[in-house]
Structure 1
């Protein structure tokens, strides 16, 4: 039955692409333009950096220091802290890429990989602060509420997933941070990698370009799918059917919700256009950014396809993330002092957003790493 559904779906998609070639061309061109101007320059440096850091043994070094914090809080090895920091720094799909790398190298188990995958996928800080808060809403201060809701909600998901698939096997002993042992782990990792520095750099750039090109392909493909669904009014049909069950929510808001379930960016844009009340805008934006969209789901599935990691825990985590982010955003709105004046809406400056992404990502990476190191060292001093 699943084979029949798959064939019919692909046949319908092919029929739509032949029937509406101009719409397919325009939607694919728009998504690839966004990828070229924003995603490529924003993500590529972080992909290359992460590959170089992993090849240099920095992840092993970091793992020794943060084992005493990551084990009791998230039931993860210390190496997972690097994935958490990079995932929160650069956004989708860095968490999935690095989690798959750790699993393929045997540094984490399947269960640990599924725990890690559950809470290391976020929108990038540049997207939340630059594209949504400043560009779409015209209120940069709201970026703090959106980012705070999304990040804190994901950490809550990570803490909940520490209880995921707990076995009866004895707990692993937690070793305290040791600079000597961390340095030894780094040297061992470098000795095991026989490649010359030029080869490491070449492989890092090649792997990073392959990854970021895959991201562009997913963006274009799902942009075409969503465009065809809107041409056929299928998302409007879903919103209309849903309206019969939930009548107090307007159809326009429900249509923005269904579009956001498929593609986060388009859902965020339609949310700003169709939702008139600020608190409702923030709630739906936080929900969609926590959920992330089927486009991101497909990217994650593609990157973990070479491992034994399962997708079902990731879907559950994204559902919880969206719900938690929605609730936290409303709590933050209650206690925050948001300016009542609306800033003029301007088309977002993508070049400025790229620079803003690098700046914010650097600050978040340094801040997050400093917090983790402080907690680990504090635990050592306490003992």
Structure 2
């Protein structure tokens, strides 16, 4: 679905923001050419050696699954779970599983594709983009835990809080004003079939069918979607490759731009403006010293640089340190925000709900870490460094971020993300079928 005409005020504000960002990048390159070059090179290295090879096969696979109708079958089978828990169409299950395994921005890419093909409503797409935007387990445990904090146990604790806060955010996003839900549903009704949509979202009839009927509905949906698409395998594969490469080029550009901005912000000491915030928060957390102001700026701009900078903060109790890192991971960084906004731009999905969800996710992650400090204490009480100290001479934070990310990527390749994606998708399918069976059993046999 193409983006509808936007409001003039919003378009003007977006133009001003993008213009200011472009001017800042140009000014930084002119004022600090060496630092800008090194920063962009580091961003390019992470994108080329980590993001591109990790996401390209997955994005191509996702495009093929949509073309062959497999996503439509999964959407029918996952309807009982997704509708009951999150109030979303069953198609959301694939985006959720992909986000949990691959990490961002995979969820946003799938959400944009589903909305563009009219498989979900705009309201569902806005909530799904927020719900599926999470960090991958490899990044949380391998990069942040083992790489930055020297302990995979700490990474596991962060992962528990991160995913719990994400699920709570998804549930909270379901709550709406009385009457707004029905009105919004009425406005969105039929949109999934408008403008040449491939197939309407699974209807509530899927909830009323028995197990065999549900599977038959899924097979019929897959067949109908494949016939409606009509592309041969060669054409479908070519379109999938072109679309995936274009998406990754967009992601790489954003990564390089925000890497330059983060380094320039530290170079010109713009971080002094947030020093007061760091000292105030340090007093509330009982820290011996304030977190360096540059860590706050880097956390706001990029999740990789920000989590590394926060992990090097001294004088913080373990719970407070993990709470700050968890909040940064929930926020995601403006670099990730720009990637999501760029992927959703071709649809009518708004950015404001995503921004709200990121703020809620960050706040919930911060609060949950402090509340669960005692239950999670065994995860960090006996933690020992699993990597050599990262403070080696001559190494920069960005360089260490790239090294840790590449090490985690090698671990992911060894274990295989396809297997993890299949396991998570299978678990969601089993949970959906189990919920469907329990619901039918509670209703009892229908009268003939």
TM-score normalised to the size of structure 2?
0.79
- What is aligned with 1:314? 354
DSSP-derived class of the 1:195 partner: coil
Distance, in Å, in 1 between the alignment partners of 2:248 and 2:156 is 27
In the alignment, is residue 14 of structure 1 matched against residue 26 of structure 2?
yes
Alignment correspondent of 1:210: 246
Q: Is the 8 A contact 2:323 2:369 kept in 1?
A: yes
Q: Distance in 1 between matches of 2:226 and 2:411?
A: 34
1:166 aligns with 2:178: no
Change (3 A) 1:83 1:174: same
Distance 1:131 1:6, change over 3 A: closer
Given candidates 112, 136, 153, the residue that maps to 1:124 is: 136
**Matched-pair contact (CA < 8 Å) for 1:70–1:76:** yes
1:23 matched to 2:35? The reply is: yes
Q: Deviations over 1:184-231 (max 9, x none)?
A: 110111111221112212221221111112111111000111111111
Match of 1:366 in 2: 422
Report matched runs for 1:284-323 at 5 Å: 284-323=324-363
> What are the residue-to-residue correspondences of 1:152-301 with 2, within 5 Å?
152-164=164-176, 165-168=180-183, 173-176=204-207, 178-235=214-271, 237-243=272-278, 246=281, 248=283, 250-276=289-315, 277-301=317-341
| Distance in 1 between residues matched to 2:303 and 2:37, nearest whole Å | 20
Kindly provide the CA deviation profile for residues 76-112 of structure 1, in whole angstroms up to 9, marking residues without a partner as x. Answer: 1111111111111101101111111111111111111
Give SS of 2:291's match. helix
* Count of aligned pairs between the two proteins: 382
**RMSD, matched Cα:** 2.4
Give the Å deviation of 1:364.
Answer: 4.4
* TM-superposed deviation, 1:232: 1.4
1:74 CA drift (Å): 1.2
**How far 1:278 moved relative to its partner?**
2.2
Q: Does 1:67 align with 2:79?
A: yes
Residue deviations 1:27-63 (CA, integer Å, cap 9, x gap): 0011111112212222222112211111111110011
Aligned twin of 2:150: 138
CA distance in 1, matches of 2:420, 2:259: 30
Unpaired runs of at least 5, structure 1: none
SS of the aligned residue for 1:166 comes to: helix
Q: Give the equivalent residue in structure 1 for 2:368.
A: 328
Q: 1:316 to 1:360 in 2, by over 3 A?
A: farther
CA distance in structure 2 between the partners assigned to 1:99 and 1:5 by the alignment: 25
**Residues in 1 aligned to 2:296 and 2:250: alpha-carbon distance in whole angstroms:** 26
- What displacement does 1:158 show? 1.0
CA change 1:163–1:131 in 2 (3 A) is same
Q: Which residue does 1:353 correspond to in 2?
A: 408
Q: Which has the larger radius of gyration?
A: 2
Matched, 1:36 2:48: yes
Contact map agreement 1:114 1:314 (CA 8 A) in 2: yes
Residue by residue, what CA displacement relative to the aligned partner does 1:122-157 show, whole Å, maximum 9, x if unpaired? 112211111111111111122221111111211111
Q: CA deviation at 1:12?
A: 4.2
TM-score, normalised via structure 1 length = 0.92
Q: What residue ranges of structure 2 are gaps of 5+ in the alignment? A: 1-11, 190-202, 391-402, 441-448
